Amino acid sequence: MSLHEARRRLAAARSVAVLTGAGGSAESGIPTFRDAAGLWKGFRPEDVASPEAFARDPGFVWDWYEARRRTVAACEPNAGHRALADFERRCGSFTLITQNVDGLHTRAGSRRVLEIHGSLWRVRCTGCGETREELRTPLPEVPPRCACGALLRPGVVWFGETLDPALLAEAWRAAESADFFLVAGTSGQVQPAASLAEAALARGAAVVEINLEPTPLTPRATVALRGGCAALLPALLLPEAPTGMQDIPSKER
Ligand code: BJW
Ligand code: ZN
């Protein structure tokens, strides 16, 4: 019933924006951050993903990123990533905003992806500031160094760091002009990403959430679909919803 309602709202939308989080890649085999068996198990996030942690022990931080790069390199995009890529090709006005740094949306065929938390596959020099792609894993040396001699760091956004202003501005524009805003696989605990859905709600957009669990957004979502992204993104976005998907437990406003 609610999947039906979400599809009806989507069919009526002129401008669509999507925000994805770690839950979107969970079914590809990539651990999330805050679930019980998540990436942070045994660590406080700030102890690994922060400029202070890197300044204290760049080798430790790089070991963690290298382990993640290896995991991601061995994983494939799932049916949810593919459904988003397919939808982009059919939708006139579409923006995909992701908090994920794994690159799986692009590997699935999405053309324009706003990677607001950066990418595991980019490095940036802490000395000269040069940014480049780095696809090799394992890296020849850990921690890696730039030709200028300074340490390279992962091209991601850590706690306490600002997001790329141009990317963030584009994400805000998309959220504020969307009449359908989809939030998939994110706990909504990290700012400013979590506020994008609030902005869309404030502008009167239909906000549809896909998640295994309730989040702070759930009570205010127009439709909250409870389930995994790999099944629900195709069920929502593909032209023909697979049969048997009409009974997804959900909450409708
Ligand atoms: C499934 C599923 C399946 C599972 N299907 N669903 C205002 C108030 C308070 C604090 C702040 C504030 N503004 C800024 C801050 C500070 C901070 C922040 O937000 N802290 C909060 C934790 C309180 N934000 C920042 O520092 C940001 N910078 C900033 O705002 O700059 C200005 C500023 C600076 C300082 C002070 C004030 C302002 C930067 C944030 C950068 C976040 N970086 C990370 C690491 C990136 C690099 C890396 O990957 O290593 O980004 S942290 C981590 O969290 C990562 C993720 O992108 C991000 C979000 O996580 P996500 O995707 O939601 O994952 P989970 O695990 O939390 O949730 C998974 C969800 O999926 C769950 O709900 C599951 O149920 C679900 N799920 N399987 C569907 N199959
Ligand atoms: Zn350099």
**To the nearest whole percent, how much of the chain has pLDDT over 90?**
88
For 167-172, the CB contacts below 8 A with 24+ separation are: 167/114, 167/115, 167/116, 168/116, 168/192, 170/95, 170/114, 171/95, 171/97, 171/114, 171/116, 171/196, 172/196, 172/199
Q: What is the pLDDT of residues 25-48, one digit of tens each?
A: 999 999 999 887 776 667 777 788
Q: Partners of 182 in the beta sheet?
A: 18, 208
Which residue from 191, 198, 211 has its CB within 8 A of the most atoms of ligand 1, so it is best to mutate? 191
Q: Are 130 and 158 in contact (CB under 8 A)?
A: no
Q: What is the pLDDT of residues 180-199, one digit of tens each?
A: 999 999 999 999 999 999 99
Q: Which residues surround ligand 2, an ion (CB under 5 A)?
A: 125, 127-128, 146, 148, 150
Q: Is the CB of 215 under 6 A from ligand 1?
A: yes
Q: Is the CB of 84 under 6 A from ligand 1?
A: no
Q: Whose CA is nearest to atom 80 of ligand 1?
A: 228
Q: What is the pLDDT of residues 156-182, one digit of tens each?
A: 999 999 999 999 999 999 999 999 999
Q: Is the CB of 226 under 6 A from ligand 1?
A: no
Q: Is 109 left (phi over 0), alpha (psi -120 to 50) or beta?
A: left
Q: Is the CB of 98 under 6 A from ligand 1?
A: no
CA of 188 to the centre of ligand 1 (A): 7
Is the pTM above the cut of 0.75?
yes
Sheet with 113-115, strands from edge to edge, namely: 113-115, 94-98, 16-20, 180-184, 206-211, 223-226, 250-252
pLDDT score of 180: 98
Q: Whose CA is nearest to atom 56 of ligand 1?
A: 99
81 labelled catalytic: no
Q: What is the mean pLDDT of the chain?
A: 93
CA of 170 to the centre of ligand 2 (A): 28
Q: What is the pLDDT of residues 201-251, one digit of tens each?
A: 999 999 999 999 999 999 999 999 999 999 999 999 999 866 665 545 555
DSSP for the chain? -HHHHHHHHHHH-SSEEEEE-THHHHTTT---SSSTTSTTTTS-HHHHSSHHHHHH-HHHHHHHHHHHHHHHHT----HHHHHHHHHHHH-SSEEEEE---S-HHHHHT-S-EEETTEEEEEEEETTT--EEE---SS-SSSS-B-TTSSBEEEEEPPTTPPPPHHHHHHHHHHHHH-SEEEEES--S-STTHHHHHHHHHHTT-EEEEEESS--TTGGG-SEEEES-HHHHHHHHHSSSPPTT-TT--EEE-
Q: Whose CA is nearest to atom 50 of ligand 1?
A: 49
Q: Is the CB of 187 under 6 A from ligand 1?
A: yes
Q: Is the CB of 117 under 6 A from ligand 1?
A: yes
Q: Whose CA is nearest to atom 62 of ligand 1?
A: 21
pLDDT score of 35: 82
